[in-house]
């Protein structure tokens, strides 16, 4: 409350900074106005302005809420709010068989589903002790699908980042590139996404005839689209002004915040599970891990381009191996499921004219020839196979970073617990460090450089 004195200047202040006024006659209205003006000035100087960036409508994908405290256009504090897309996938898996879990995990990061499918299958195979029994053809096919998926995921990140900077053409080129990859996925699995094609022990069905030739036929188009995106972006002065030096993270900060994938590779650390803890025979492929010396939005973009070209290199090698395996004829390596009948999915699926379907030979056997085969099929599909008690931790190099899978079995036909360390979720915690002290517009660039997919974040 203001102090009023009968003498002295019209306005003054006490030692503690509180204003004092001198009242002379009937100027009470003037004093009240001065007090109100000072209070308003103080409020404007010290009040925080809180801005919600999202969440967007819950029926759309990618629901993330960013709570920003700002001083003008400068972000003073940022907090990320997740959970708007929560689907309870991990909990639901506890009520389904081990094989049915694949149908859940493929829906987590829906832009890069094969990484979850393969990682989960590897964890279950490790629990079963059949890692070395998985046929070579299935393992090589997994590599092809994952590396194509890495390219598809990266071009969506690149195109959407460019679109958010105002370049709609970049998004259309990215989706044109991705379309060739989705056509290959549809040819192999019958679906463009949510495949559930990878199964513990191998694959749901064999690769169709002509698959390797088709992938080879679209690889030049994929490479050309990548080159067009690169030429439009990397020397573009507008993009460089928005990306260079924005969202910087030192290597020490990246490690402290648990960053993986392009975010940490751009800082100079070649953290890649394909090299550090190889799986699916990655140690036998010739490829490099791209790194740069500073993790900002621009270098994270460069890493994604480089990884796409390395993935094409891996795919080319894997396709040659698939052709070599196919030439062996009836060799056991030329199959896509383990031989153990207590684990192997009983039906050999075969894509029909509708895009998917059962093997007609298998249907003929279980429905008209062998009652034992029918009973086995029914029990294995409805009840599932038992997995020895224990727990494992499996890592794969996801497009966004390190994907970790902890699988726990109590000896039953359903998981006791399956937990995923999703790279999008762990990478998001660095967003505040990237953005605080920068401009509001830089938040969009920094977020796109992390490339989170909220299906994996909220799972």
Render pLDDT for 322-355 as a digit per residue (tens, 0 to 9). Answer: 999 988 877 777 788 898 888 887 656 555 555 5
| % of residues, the chain, pLDDT over 90 | 48
Give the full edge-to-edge strand order of the sheet including 49-53.
49-53, 65-71, 74-81
pLDDT for 367: 72
Does a structural domain hold residue 59?
A: no
Does a structural domain hold residue 289?
A: yes
Residues 6+ apart with CB under 8 A from 34: 11, 19, 21
pLDDT digits (tens, 9 = 90+) for 278-330: 999 999 999 999 999 998 999 999 999 999 999 999 999 999 999 999 888 77
pLDDT digits (tens, 9 = 90+) for 137-182: 999 999 999 999 999 999 999 998 888 788 788 899 999 999 999 9
Does a structural domain hold residue 51?
A: no
pLDDT for 453: 87
Does a structural domain hold residue 79?
A: no
- State whether 333 and 358 are in the same domain: no
pLDDT for 2: 41
Specify the DSSP element, H or E, that contains 20.
Answer: strand 19-22
- State whether 358 and 403 are in the same domain: no
Are the C-beta atoms of 420 and 93 separated by less than 8 Å? no
Does a structural domain hold residue 70?
A: no
Strands 202-203 and 198-199 come out as antiparallel
- State whether 274 and 126 are in the same domain: yes
- State whether 118 and 248 are in the same domain: yes
Does a structural domain hold residue 193?
A: yes
In terms of Cβ atoms closer than 10 Å to its own Cβ (0-12, 13-18, 19+), residue 129 is exposed
- State whether 184 and 243 are in the same domain: yes
pLDDT for 454: 85
pLDDT for 19: 60
- From CA 56, how far away is CA 34, in angstroms rounded? 43
Are the C-beta atoms of 249 and 432 separated by less than 8 Å? no
- State whether 32 and 99 are in the same domain: no
Of 32-41, 69-78, 142-151, where does the model show the most confidence?
A: 142-151
Q: Is the pLDDT of residue 396 over 60?
A: yes
- State whether 354 and 264 are in the same domain: no
Question: If you average pLDDT over residues 245-253, what whole number do you get?
Answer: 90
Q: Is the pLDDT of residue 64 over 60?
A: yes
pLDDT for 7: 39
- State whether 301 and 243 are in the same domain: yes
276: helix, strand or coil: helix
Are the C-beta atoms of 227 and 219 separated by less than 8 Å? no
pTM for the whole structure = 0.85
Does a structural domain hold residue 55?
A: no
- State whether 275 and 302 are in the same domain: yes
Does a structural domain hold residue 81?
A: no
CATH code, 420: 1.10.645.10
pLDDT for 6: 40
Total of domains in the chain: 3
70: helix, strand or coil: strand
Specify the DSSP element, H or E, that contains 11.
Answer: strand 11-13
Q: List, as one string, the DSSP characters of 356-417.
A: ----HHHHHHHHHT-HHHHHHHHHHHHT-----SEEEEEEEEETTEEEEEEEEE-SSSS-SE
- From CA 218, how far away is CA 228, in angstroms rounded? 15
- State whether 438 and 296 are in the same domain: yes
- From CA 42, how far away is CA 392, in angstroms rounded? 58
Least confident of 103-107, 180-184, 229-233, 326-330: 326-330
Beta bridge partners of 11: 21
- State whether 331 and 358 are in the same domain: no
Which range marks the domain in which residue 16 is found?
3-42
- State whether 274 and 171 are in the same domain: yes
Specify the DSSP element, H or E, that contains 117.
Answer: helix 113-128
Name the residue among 203, 269, 243 with its Cα closest to residue 401: 269
């Amino acid at each position: 409350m203001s102090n009023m004195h009968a003498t002295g200047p019209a306005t003054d202040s006490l030692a503690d900074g509180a204003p004092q006024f001198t009242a002379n006659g009937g100027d009470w209205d003037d004093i009240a106005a001065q007090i109100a003006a000072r209070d308003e000035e103080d409020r404007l100087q010290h009040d925080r302005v809180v801005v919600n960036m999202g969440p967007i409508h819950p029926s759309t994908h990618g629901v993330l809420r960013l709570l920003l405290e700002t001083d003008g256009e400068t972000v003073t504090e940022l907090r990320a709010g997740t959970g708007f897309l929560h689907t309870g996938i991990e909990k639901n898996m506890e009520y389904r068989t081990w094989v049915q879990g694949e149908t859940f995990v493929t829906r987590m990061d829906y832009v890069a589903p094969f990484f979850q499918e393969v990682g989960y299958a590897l964890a279950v195979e490790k629990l079963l002790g059949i890692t070395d029994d998985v046929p070579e053809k299935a393992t090589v096919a997994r590599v092809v699908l994952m590396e194509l998926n890495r390219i598809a995921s990266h071009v969506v990140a690149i195109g959407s980042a460019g679109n958010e900077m105002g370049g709609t053409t970049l998004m259309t080129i990215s989706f044109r590139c991705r379309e060739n990859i989705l056509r290959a996925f549809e040819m192999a699995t019958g679906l463009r996404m949510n495949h559930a094609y990878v199964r513990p022990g191998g694959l749901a069905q064999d690769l169709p005839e002509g698959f390797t030739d088709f992938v080879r036929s679209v690889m030049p188009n994929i490479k050309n689209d990548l080159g067009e995106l690169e030429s439009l972006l990397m020397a573009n002065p507008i993009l460089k002004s928005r990306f260079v030096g924005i969202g910087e993270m030192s290597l020490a900060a990246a490690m402290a915040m648990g960053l993986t994938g392009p975010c940490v590779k751009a800082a100079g650390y070649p953290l890649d599970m394909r090299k550090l803890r190889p799986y699916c025979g990655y140690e036998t492929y010739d490829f490099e891990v791209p790194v740069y010396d500073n993790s900002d939005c621009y270098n994270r973009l460069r890493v994604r381009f480089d990884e796409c070209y390395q993935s094409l290199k891996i795919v080319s090698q894997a396709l040659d191996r698939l052709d070599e395996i196919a030439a062996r004829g009836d060799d056991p390596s030329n199959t896509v499921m383990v031989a153990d009948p207590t684990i192997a999915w009983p039906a050999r699926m075969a894509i029909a004219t509708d895009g998917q379907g059962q093997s007609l030979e298998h249907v003929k056997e279980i429905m008209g020839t062998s009652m034992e085969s029918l009973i086995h099929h029914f029990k294995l599909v409805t009840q599932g196979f038992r997995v020895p008690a224990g727990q494992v931790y499996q890592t794969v190099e996801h497009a966004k970073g390190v994907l970790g899978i902890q699988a726990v079995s109590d000896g039953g036909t359903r998981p006791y617990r399956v937990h995923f360390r999703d790279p999008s979720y762990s990478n998001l915690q660095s967003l505040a460090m990237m953005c605080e002290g920068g401009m509001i517009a830089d938040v969009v660039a920094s977020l796109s450089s992390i490339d989170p997919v909220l299906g994996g974040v909220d799972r």
